[in-house]
Amino acid sequence: MPSYDDLHFSPPAPVARVTLRNPGTGTEVSDVSLLIDSGADVTLLPRSAVEAIGLTASPGDDCEVMGFDGNKALAPVVILEMVFLGRNFRGRFLLVEEDLGVLGRNVLNQLSLLLDGPRRHWSEPRP
């Protein structure tokens, strides 16, 4: 069951496990942890997970990002497939140097999720 992470976050936060796939070779890495963050515009992926499937960012293909503290930085861009909840999301994703990435609104806005904080789990409601 999808759960909240109380080891890395206080208070506990919802974390998704996704699969990343290299569209050219089909190489995959599973169980990549991403914080579910409806305040993030874009999805940020751990560089180490992306490199594990044989992808690197193209030099000079960076995107300017701004954190909640107002600081700006350049994030490398990579094109890949991300599998989450049985759906494929193909496109441009940004890389971060952290072990835990961020699942942002570019993906979340295509889904319906129920966050159950008191029970510390989340789910995808089914009709």
What are 37-62's pLDDT values in tens digits?
999 999 999 999 999 999 998 788 88
Structural domain including 117 reads 3-123
Handedness of CA 97, 99, 100, 104 (dihedral sign): positive
User: String of b and e for 15-49 (b: at least 16 CB within 10 Å)?
Assistant: bbebbbbbeeeeeebeebbbbbbeebebbbbbbeb
- Mean pLDDT, the chain, rounded, equals 93
Q: Give the model's pLDDT for residue 25.
A: 96
Total domain count, the chain: 1
CATH number of the structural domain spanning residue 27: 2.40.70.10
Residue 36: in which H helix or E strand, if any? Answer: strand 28-36
Per the DSSP assignment, residues forming a β-bridge with 114 are 123
Q: Give the model's pLDDT for residue 96.
A: 94
Q: Is this structure's pTM higher than 0.85?
A: yes
Q: Give the model's pLDDT for residue 100.
A: 95
Contacts of 93 (CB under 8 A, 6+ apart): 42, 43, 44, 45, 50, 77, 78, 79, 80, 82
- The single residue listed with the structure tokens 């759960």 is 3
Per the DSSP assignment, residues forming a β-bridge with 34 are 16, 101
Question: Which portions of the chain are predicted below pLDDT 70?
Answer: 1
